[in-house]
Amino acid sequence: MEILLILSIILSFAILIAGYYMKYHAPKDEQMKMGLRTERAKASQEAWEYANRTCGRYCLIFGGIGLALSIISLLVYAFVGDDWGRIFAVITPAVICVGTSGAVNVVNNRLCSKFDENGRPKEKG
């Protein structure tokens, strides 16, 4: 049980750090080795920056939610008991994983709607 709580907190911090890095410090070079590395995102520098800025924002949100749920599960485990704490400890990593993978899908869909296959912005109208 304690391991789940510790892993939830570590996972939350990892997502927060990844989100901060993607949003504010994604590499600007040609190789784009770290960040949201999909074909659509790597198609152009503008698409790359948009994808990482947007996905970073989602990761910051879900990392914060995960950290809050981790702290709640720790408090529930400490004050209410093992059974309820176990429920929160299992829900927390699931919320983080589903949220961040959903964020990647949302960003890819937005990339498809904003940029063509070559990474150029689509014309509005």
Task: Let me know if residue 124 belongs to a domain.
Answer: no
27-46 pLDDT, tens digit each: 877 677 788 888 888 888 89
Provide the pLDDT for residue 57: 95
Assign 59 a pLDDT band (cuts: 50, 70, 90). Answer: very high
Provide the pLDDT for residue 96: 87
Task: Say whether pLDDT at 74 is over 70.
Answer: yes
Question: What residues are paired with 121 via a beta bridge?
Answer: 115
Provide the pLDDT for residue 58: 94
Distance separating alpha carbons of residues 20 and 2, to the nearest angstrom: 27
Task: Let me know if residue 66 belongs to a domain.
Answer: yes
Domain that holds residue 72: 2-114
42-57 pLDDT, tens digit each: 888 899 899 999 999 9
Task: Let me know if residue 69 belongs to a domain.
Answer: yes
Provide the pLDDT for residue 67: 92
Task: Let me know if residue 40 belongs to a domain.
Answer: yes
Task: Let me know if residue 123 belongs to a domain.
Answer: no
Task: Say whether pLDDT at 125 is over 70.
Answer: no
Task: Let me know if residue 43 belongs to a domain.
Answer: yes
Domain count within the chain: 1
